[in-house]
Amino acid sequence: MWCYCILLMSCAKELATPLNYTKSMIILGAGGGFTGAFSEYYLMENGQVFRSGNSDTTYTYVGRFSKTLTSQFFDSYDMLRFDEMKLDEPGNRYFYISRKKGDQANKILWGYQELSNKTPAIYHQNFMSKIKDLQSENTSQNKN
């Protein structure tokens, strides 16, 4: 019996993190300002969400988006053609969206001036709103 348990435990999958995840993931971040601090969030195709920042050396698990919400973010990214967009205008306070697919990555970065095409900013705001909902949900579950 013990041999069977040990065998099962040794075959258990390693927890996927942004460092070892091989499928597509969307990365959103913001930073700058007086402190220069930044934070970024990683949405994996499996719905897991992680956070890191300039003082973090690890990735913190935030929670999991539903399959529907995860699909909406990935589908919207494709539909809005963010992979084809060229935008690199950081300012004192900056925002970015990126998707990593294997070795490929495209980063949209703005903050220098207000965007004429507001879709990246709206996408970023919607994503961050869902992150706040997820964090609130996890906080209320931990209290119970």
Domain count, the chain: 1
Query: Does residue 108 sit within a domain?
Result: yes
Query: Does residue 78 sit within a domain?
Result: yes
Cβ count near 121 (within 10 Å): 16
Query: Does residue 55 sit within a domain?
Result: yes
pLDDT at 13 (0 to 100):
52
pLDDT at 144 (0 to 100):
54
* Rounded Cα distance, 60 and 53, in Å: 10
The per-residue pLDDT for range 13-72, each reduced to its tens digit, is 556 888 888 899 999 999 988 787 889 999 999 999 999 987 667 899 999 999 999 999
The per-residue pLDDT for range 112-144, each reduced to its tens digit, is 888 888 999 999 999 999 999 888 877 666 665
Q: Which of 27, 37, 42 is nearest to 93 (CA)?
A: 37
CATH code: domain of residue 131: 3.30.1560
Query: Does residue 9 sit within a domain?
Result: no
Query: Does residue 86 sit within a domain?
Result: yes
Query: Does residue 2 sit within a domain?
Result: no
Q: Which of 71, 77, 117 is nearest to 98 (CA)?
A: 77
Q: Which range of residues forms the domain containing residue 62?
A: 14-143
Query: How would you write 46-93 as a 3-class SS string?
Result: CCEEEEEECCCCCCEEEEECCHHHHHHHHHHHHHCCHHHCCCECCCCE
Q: Whole-structure pTM over 0.85, yes or no?
A: no
With contact defined as beta carbons under 8 Å apart, do 124 and 95 qualify? yes
